[in-house]
Structure 1
Amino acid sequence: VANKNTPISNSSGVILISNDGNLMVTNGLGQVFWSTNLSAPLFANATKAKLMDSGNLVLQGSNGETLWESFNYPSDTFLPGMKLGKDSKTGENRKITSWKSLDDPSPGSYSFGIAPLKFPELYIWEKELPKWRTGPWNGQAFIGSRRNPRERFKGFNLEKDNQGKMLLSYEESSLLLHFKLEPEGVVHEKAWNKEKQEWSSGADVPGPPCNSYGKCGEFGICSFNETVPCKCVKGFVPKNQTEWSGEDWRSGCVRKEPLHCERGSNNNWIERDAFLKLEMIKVPISVEYSEANEKGCEKTCVDDCNCTAYTYNDVNGCMLWRRSLLDLQDSMRNGVSLYIRVANSSAFSSKQNHTHTVKISIGITVAFVGIALSILSVFIWLKFAKGRGRNRNARLVFQIMEASSTISNVS
């Protein structure tokens, strides 16, 4: 809608090419309600308006060159051929904006577009505040999609350059899609059904139950497959149990006990903090990127008490988080394996029921047990050697050491 901020009060609207070659919307009295407002010298008989098959309205010059196109000024719908994001030439960050209501096309409270980060993400904003996000782009899809990313993001392309350009486009493929941002802040997906020759409704985002940004607060995980969607990460407890009991989880979770490195006991290798592995996780916000390789990424986080979590993949590389983790979700088709720092005793606590897979490195513990058993074996050998003879004791020591080896292997 070109004149969405200046509606014509009657039915006498006219669209025309003016004497200066611009495309205009006027009323019956000739009052201008909207114009392409191109400043370059133009002539009425040297320009023409053409509606393309894609839905793009184009103003062309005498040689067929594009002077202006409606796809550069999106309304509430993202169509194949449009580009959302930051244009380095104009400095604009193109977004689609919701209507105020179904009957009022003036700008509403919601917008949908690209957050120009190192690895960009799709966001829905309510005014200036985030309402929903995808997770970072990995070259083929956005990390954190519940549906098959190969299907959902087929045909999407991201253009980037060193001048700050970051444009997301979608080209028509075997599946023709369009996305509309509704007045209530939901992006509604529709796909063209060739057999029925009609648009079929697809998925809505955000969808229940994890339908809002940071729904479970800091260190809370939103799960699509649970009756109660919000849980605390293992080693954390609700910050406000009363609010959580009332199904308001926004206050999030806090650590059950402080990290050992925060107590100044990081030099005691027995008490070093552990890292929980959570699988198929949507990447939290406020990610930092490092040039470290996979092993270096782990070491960078382990050696820094301020590093709360880390993950690594071949496209995005080393991703680190410091302090709190917000907007965690699980059960994502292309989610990451996220390693979260917890106090060692919290990692091994069995009191808290948690559905996420936990894998903790216990190599130090195994080594300690093995050393202890070896010392015990020598002690028993010396004790028996004094009273019963070396041959019999040698067989006993062999059996004990063999048992020690078996226990170490099982651990």
Structure 2
Amino acid sequence: MPKRTICARPGTSGFIWRRLWEFPPALGCLALVSEPAQLGANAWGNPTSVFSNTVDTITKTHSITGSNTIVSSGGSFEMGFFSPGSSRNQYLGIWYKNISVRTVVWVANREIPLLDSAGVLTIINPGSLALVHGTGNVIWSPNMTGSTWDPVAQLMESGNLVVRDANDQSGHFLWQSFDYPCDTLLPGMKLGKNFVTGLERHLSSWKSSDDPAPGEFTYRCDPQGYPQNILSRGSVELYRTGPWNGIGFSGRPNLKPNTIYKYEVVYTKEEVYYHYELLSSVISRVIMSHNGVLERWTWIDETREWVLYSTGPADNCDNYKLCGPNGDCNVGNLPPCGCLSKFVPRNQTEWGNGDWSYGCDRRTPLDCHNGDGFIKHSGYKLPDPRNSWFDRNMTLGECEMVCLKNCSCMAYANLDIRSGGSGCLLWFDELIDMKELNVNVQDIYIRMASSELGKNSYQTHRLVNID
């Protein structure tokens, strides 16, 4: 058999599927494969030796097959083959080692299950980690960023599976599972995008409790305009957290500092990402469930069970743009939708029939060139920032002046609410997906016609102060 090169299938993200001999020669691919005999016994389902449960690393002479597993150095995570729910299919996955309820946090071959127990995770020549079926098919293999003749795969205590050169102890990884999440976000994982490499990390639900293939729902950190997290079903947005304000997301004010975990959004020229770190020995994880709900769970040792800590969306007003443009959603009202102060329904008939999608308009049109002003609204989830602009260094007064001079600017707010507030966030066009909150975390200043500006005017839902 002539030599062949293994290439990633177009459209895949970091993975390789296909028979070893299927591809024509090509440049820049991962592993060079020649005669089956040259691959060694490992590649065909007869590993030279198998790790015991006290070893965390796979090498050219040690593989995983059958019921054998590897375990991270501190005993927190285990990797091996499993069958989810009532399924008989076999998958290679990572789960918590010391939790009695098997809880899988990552799956390698999500879309291509093994139909029997003949799978082997091994190193094939000349230097690639691969999940190989006994028939010779490569079911899964990571698309590494570099090459080495002596790779090892190690399960870290964080739950991260990494591939590195056996002689490289610098912490440089050729590939890591944390870059390709499934439905679970573990402490230390990044949810976001690297602007330099283009790598985007997001959660995707399982299809069902029996099928870990990517389902309908995703959860990602969206940097458009200014960062916020968005839950979607396919291309349809279902829920958003609101923009990051330096302390938390504007739409999740109840997520206060706690003793379990801390979280933040990091936004630089190179990357943007959301992540969290645990503050104690409590085990906690975030999952994108196959039911379309983002859930945080914590493990309770005393009762030996997972307990639901928080969910998103939290209520009906978290449904994306339920009340339409310039609408005001209040979960305590029936119906929940109203218009922002000094706005009126755009289509009164449909609004009265319970269709709020048309939203609201200002009752007095803006007259930018003859003078507009702003009304301060407090205690709101800030509008969708995907059509916004920001500056980290402006004061709130400078922010107001910039917005006032631009007739397309509809609202402004501080970018960061820490230390009395700093920076500037401007919204253009309509204000989408605003929700009344039970606490006042951040103020937003909405553009109105000058004739609507009146001091301490009392509105239907709240007291509105005028600057």
TM-superposition CA deviations, 1:44-81 (whole Å, max 9, x none) = xx443332332222334323644322111101111112
Q: Report the equivalent of 1:143.
A: 250
1:125 aligns to what SS in structure 2? strand
Structure of larger gyration radius: 1
Matching residue within 208, 213, 236 for 1:106: 213
Q: Report the equivalent of 2:401.
A: 299
Q: TM-score, normalised by structure 2?
A: 0.67
Matching residue within 424, 427, 440 for 1:321: 427
Matches within 5 A, 1:140-219: 140-151=247-258, 154-162=261-269, 164-174=270-280, 176-219=283-326
Matching residue within 360, 364, 367 for 2:466: 360
Alpha-carbon spacing, 1:39–1:349, altered in 2? closer, same or farther (3 Å): closer
TM-superposition CA deviations, 1:284-314 (whole Å, max 9, x none) = 1222224542222233334544332222345
Q: Which has the higher helix share?
A: 1
2:118 aligns to what SS in structure 1? coil
Unaligned runs of 5+ in 1: 267-271, 362-411
Unaligned runs of 5+ in 2: 1-106
Matching residue within 111, 114, 138 for 1:8: 114
Residue 255, structure 1, aligned to residue 362, structure 2: yes
- Offset at residue 250 of structure 1 (A): 1.6
Q: Report the equivalent of 1:130.
A: 237
Structure 2: distance between partners of 1:87 and 1:302: 34
Matching residue within 125, 139, 157 for 1:53: 157
Q: Report the equivalent of 2:442.
A: 336
Q: Report the equivalent of 1:396.
A: none
Structure 2: distance between partners of 1:117 and 1:193: 38
Structure 1: distance between partners of 2:445 and 2:268: 32
CA contact (8 A) 1:47 1:60 kept: yes
- Offset at residue 224 of structure 1 (A): 2.9
CA contact (8 A) 1:155 1:171 kept: yes
Please tell me the residue identity of whatever aligns with 2:402: T
How many pairs does the alignment contain?
350
CA contact (8 A) 2:145 2:174 kept: no
Q: Report the equivalent of 1:63.
A: 167
TM-superposition CA deviations, 1:219-238 (whole Å, max 9, x none) = 10112332322110121111
Structure 2: distance between partners of 1:23 and 1:333: 51
Q: Report the equivalent of 1:398.
A: none
1:300 aligns to what SS in structure 2? helix
Structure 1: distance between partners of 2:451 and 2:258: 42
Identity %: 36
Structure 1: distance between partners of 2:459 and 2:246: 36
Matching residue within 346, 351, 376 for 1:244: 351
- Offset at residue 328 of structure 1 (A): 0.8
Residue 288, structure 1, aligned to residue 394, structure 2: no
TM-superposition CA deviations, 1:355-391 (whole Å, max 9, x none) = 1221135xxxxxxxxxxxxxxxxxxxxxxxxxxxxxx
Alpha-carbon spacing, 1:176–1:137, altered in 2? closer, same or farther (3 Å): farther
Please tell me the residue identity of whatever aligns with 1:341: R
Structure 1: distance between partners of 2:259 and 2:338: 28
- Offset at residue 347 of structure 1 (A): 5.4
- Offset at residue 32 of structure 1 (A): 1.0
Alpha-carbon spacing, 1:201–1:339, altered in 2? closer, same or farther (3 Å): same
Root-mean-square deviation (Å): 3.0
Matching residue within 95, 104, 115 for 2:202: 95
Residue 116, structure 1, aligned to residue 217, structure 2: no
Alpha-carbon spacing, 1:281–1:250, altered in 2? closer, same or farther (3 Å): same
CA contact (8 A) 1:274 1:344 kept: yes
Structure 1: distance between partners of 2:303 and 2:168: 36
Structure 2: distance between partners of 1:35 and 1:81: 23
